[in-house]
């Protein structure tokens, strides 16, 4: 991993904290996938001198790529074109064909183009304009060994230009040096340290496959990086197969979708319909399932039973059961799942009931205690969880754990067939 990259973001909104800089994490990941490690990422105010200094400082470190984002609009605060021209000591050159493109864009949007947009048709001498998706053209220009890339700050425009133009360009450049290949193994239900321990053996085999992990609330992704050659692909295949067999059903898939998507795909493939009965998650489990386009093929609906009255009257949870075990219990979770399956007439159902906090906990039933249940065929399965974190995290983790409970059951059904 010897290539380095840098990023410079302009825009007072990033420094005032009015926006979170998601472009940085996006670009950091994409660069790394190309084998380029970002060493500096700077947000700088809309001040021409400060931007010029930042560009010069970066170029002095001779990165392979310097990505600038933002400041390509038509207003006086948009200074990136001028700053790059000054830092690279090249004049700005007007491109009439670029102006035509911008004019066409405006015509398409049914908006007249303003005079101020004229300056957007200029790029530093020797720079190549990037085909535009929005109305702010980007450009690339090679300066010494550094590819300087200027992109808009609007995330979707930045992504389109990056994936459509810049990434292919960088791939071609590094093609001569071999190039990099990446595999992502998505897992659920294991921690980063457990994975590190399980995989520690791999690090010693000198396999030229680099193994990294990326953890989020939703899942843990194991990232394998190797060379793009046929021999490299073979090594990646072998490593991937080995890791997948070690982790077994903890693996959601290679280059797979989210847990909701994986569960949805299993439901769709097996022709299984599902319903949910939620207490502590308050609708979040249904929301997760329906995040997936086309989920109406298998998700029929659900009942959020926040009060005990809804649990008994709508879901048919027996009142004595509630009185004996309390709403937060495995017995009630099971009765909720069975009740909603009966009510909605689905093949299977999931339920959640727990103490999301911050209040409402007791010694026997502390904040974070959650019961989830799944019912499929004749079998109801209940799981007790002790979750940590704030209310929001406890609710998210409970919903994800319920989805995973269903995933594992559907997987076993499939294997048993």
Taking the least distance from each CB to a second copy, the nearer of 56 and 103 is 56
Taking the least distance from each CB to a second copy, the nearer of 99 and 402 is 402
Min dist. Cβ of residue 45 to a second copy (A): 5
Pair type for strands 220-227 and 180-187: antiparallel
Size of the site for a second copy (CB under 8 A): 71
Cβ 336 vs Cβ 347: under 8 Å: no
Stretch that binds a second copy, among 84-92, 110-118, 224-232, 295-303 (CB under 8 A): 295-303
Taking the least distance from each CB to a second copy, the nearer of 164 and 358 is 358
Cβ 74 vs Cβ 116: under 8 Å: yes
Taking the least distance from each CB to a second copy, the nearer of 126 and 360 is 360
Stretch that binds a second copy, among 160-168, 208-216, 224-232, 243-251 (CB under 8 A): 208-216
| Rounded to 5°, angle at Cα 273 from 269 and 276 | 130
Interface with a second copy, residue 220, by CB under 8 A: no
| Cα 406 off chain centre by | 22
DSSP assignment of 220-282 equals EEEEEEEESSHHHHHHHHHHHHHHHHHHGGGEEEES---HHHHHHHHHHHHT--EEEEESTTT
Identify residues 8-47 at the interface with a second copy (CB under 8 A).
14-22, 24-30, 32, 37-45, 47
Please give the Cα distance from 284 to 281 (Å, whole number). Answer: 5
Taking the least distance from each CB to a second copy, the nearer of 201 and 345 is 345
Which of 88, 68, 89, 90 minimizes the C-alpha distance to 80? 68
Min dist. Cβ of residue 246 to a second copy (A): 22
* Alpha-carbon distances, residue 304 vs 157, 339, 409 (angstroms): 39, 12, 23
Identify residues 47-76 at the interface with a second copy (CB under 8 A).
47, 50, 54, 57
Which of 14, 69, 310, 6 minimizes the C-alpha distance to 322? 310
Taking the least distance from each CB to a second copy, the nearer of 122 and 146 is 146
Identify residues 370-409 at the interface with a second copy (CB under 8 A).
391-392, 395
Taking the least distance from each CB to a second copy, the nearer of 45 and 142 is 45
Stretch that binds a second copy, among 139-147, 224-232, 298-306, 375-383 (CB under 8 A): 298-306
Identify residues 314-373 at the interface with a second copy (CB under 8 A).
314, 343-345, 357-359
């Amino acid at each position: 991993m010897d290539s380095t990259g840098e990023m410079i973001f302009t825009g007072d909104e990033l420094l005032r904290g009015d926006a979170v800089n998601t472009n940085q994490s996006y670009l950091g990941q994409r660069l790394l996938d190309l084998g380029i490690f970002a060493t500096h990422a700077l947000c700088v105010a809309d001040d021409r001198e400060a931007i010029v200094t930042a560009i010069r400082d970066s170029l002095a470190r001779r990165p392979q790529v310097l990505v600038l984002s933002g400041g390509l609009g038509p207003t006086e605060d948009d200074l990136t074109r001028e700053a790059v021209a000054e830092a690279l000591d090249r004049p700005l050159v007007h491109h009439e064909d670029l102006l035509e493109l911008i004019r066409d864009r405006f015509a398409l949007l049914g908006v007249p183009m303003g005079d101020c947009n004229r300056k957007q048709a200029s790029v530093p001498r020797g720079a190549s304009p990037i085909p535009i998706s929005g109305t702010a053209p980007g450009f690339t220009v090679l300066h010494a060994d550094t590819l300087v890339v200027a992109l808009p700050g609007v995330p979707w425009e930045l992504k389109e230009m990056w994936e459509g133009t810049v990434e292919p360009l960088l791939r071609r450049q590094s093609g001569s040096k071999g190039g990099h290949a990446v595999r992502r193994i998505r897992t659920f239900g294991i921690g980063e340290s457990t994975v590190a321990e399980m995989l520690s053996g791999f690090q010693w085999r000198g396999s030229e496959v680099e193994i990294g992990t990326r953890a989020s609330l939703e899942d843990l992704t194991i990232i394998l990086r190797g060379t793009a050659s046929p021999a490299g692909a073979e090594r990646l295949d072998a490593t991937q197969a080995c890791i997948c067999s070690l982790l077994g059903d903890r693996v959601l898939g290679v280059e797979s979708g989210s847990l909701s998507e994986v569960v949805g795909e299993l439901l769709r493939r097996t022709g299984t319909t599902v319903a949910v009965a939620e207490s502590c998650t308050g609708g979040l489990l249904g929301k997760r399932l329906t995040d997936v386009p086309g989920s109406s093929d298998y998700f029929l609906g659900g009942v959020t039973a926040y009060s005990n009255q809804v649990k008994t009257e709508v879901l048919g949870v027996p009142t004595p059961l509630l009185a004996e075990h309390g709403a937060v219990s495995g017995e009630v979770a099971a009765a909720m799942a069975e009740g909603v399956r009966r009510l909605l007439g689905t093949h299977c159902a999931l339920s959640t009931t727990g103490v999301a906090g911050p209040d409402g906990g007791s010694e026997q039933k502390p904040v974070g205690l959650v019961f989830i249940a799944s019912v499929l065929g004749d079998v109801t399965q209940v799981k007790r969880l002790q979750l940590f974190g704030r209310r929001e995290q406890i609710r998210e983790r409970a919903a994800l754990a319920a989805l995973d409970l269903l995933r594992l059951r559907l997987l076993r059904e499939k294997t048993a067939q």
